[in-house]
Structure 1
Amino acid sequence: MPPVSSAAHDGDDVRAAAAGDRRAFQRLYALHVGRVYGALHRLAGYDHARAEDLTQDAFIRAWQKLPGFRHESSFGTWLYRLAVNVALMDIRARGADPVRVVDDEHLPDSGETPFCAAERHELEQAIGRLPPRARAVLVLHDIEGWRHEDIGDELGMAVGTSKAQLHRARQLLRKTLGENA
């Protein structure tokens, strides 16, 4: 018998959680927290503490808005969009304030070679130093795979502006990391 997809389980848990079942929401949390945190960690400029706060805020908002979930998309898609919106509102609220760069001790040990880990760390720091809107466009487009139309809708900018911000972010990364980047 083929395994039941997580989306099928999501449906039951979503309905139960929308009716106030905290255990169902805990199951949804456990299933989706990794993807949500990963996206928010990148959008927060690799700031672990900020990403944790944003993840908590996203799940609190999801709990509050769950009774209004219309099932027009999967719960995972809805939650992911909600979480990204939480991060984008945080970026807007912070304006162009510089992002705190993480220390080596906050980076997870992924079993990488020291050379690869150093390159990854350098890239994360460079992304973290990008202006907030350029960073958001870069992360959403190049890492999360969003289309410029969707980025424009989410960030309240024209498609051309999204493309220009992506170009700017890439130029700044090349300048920071060297021309071979």
Structure 2
Amino acid sequence: MARAIAGDVNAFQRLYQTYVGKVYGLVLRLCGDRSQADDMVQEVFIQLWQKLANFRGDSKFSTWLHAVATNVTLTELRKQKRWYQRIIKAGQQVQQEADSGAMDLSELDRYVMKLPDQTRWVFVLAALEGMRHEEIADQLGIAVGTSKAQLHRAKQLIEEWANHDAA
């Protein structure tokens, strides 16, 4: 870590190799589009390289990286014009590919992709990434109660879809 902070490119490459999979999974679940996730992951690691000297060690590196990845992803999504339509389209495309057997997605991933944007973000951050509602509210700029309600709604929808598919 110290070598990467000091600017050692090889040390940073090792950090990249260690964390790129986890960062990609988080970013993909937040944005819902593989191509977009690829671009955003690269942006996360560019930002990481630029901000690495700011890591003080107050928390685990993985926790800090998670916050950087979440912030970069949500900032990029907010910047994009018509990002809402793109996410819906990407989610539908992923669903169609999953239904046709072209992709090997878990049932949960398929359902997560169908969730409305904010509901998906809250679900990913709370249920899959283990963040507390206070942290989620701060990240997304929503009330803690809204975070709790969105998580509850996400669980309801996923359960409904799972029950429907099982029938």
TM-score of the superposed pair, with normalisation by structure 2: 0.80
Aligned to 1:168: 153
> Is 2:132 the partner of 1:147?
yes
Aligned to 2:144: 159
Give unmatched runs, 5+ long, in structure 2: none
Change (3 A) 1:179 1:89: same
> Is 2:64 the partner of 1:78?
yes
Give the whole-Å Cα distance in 2 for the aligned partners of 1:136 and 1:125.
14
SS in 2 for 1:171: helix
SS in 2 for 1:55: helix
Aligned to 1:59: 45
For the 8 Å contact 1:91–1:133, the answer to whether it is kept is: no
Q: CA deviation at 1:179?
A: 5.5
Give unmatched runs, 5+ long, in structure 1: 1-13, 109-116
The CA RMSD measured in Å over matched residues stands at: 2.4
Q: CA deviation at 1:140?
A: 1.0
For the 8 Å contact 1:141–1:151, the answer to whether it is kept is: yes
Aligned to 2:84: 96
Aligned to 1:11: none
Higher helix share: 2
How many residues were matched structurally?
A: 156
Give, as a single letter, the amino acid of the residue that structure 1 aligns with 2:149. Answer: A
TM-score of the superposed pair, with normalisation by structure 1: 0.74
Aligned to 1:31: 18
Change (3 A) 1:52 1:107: farther
Q: Which has the larger radius of gyration?
A: 1
Change (3 A) 1:170 1:146: same
1:68 to 35, 54, 60: 54
Give, as a single letter, the amino acid of the residue that structure 1 aligns with 2:9. Answer: R
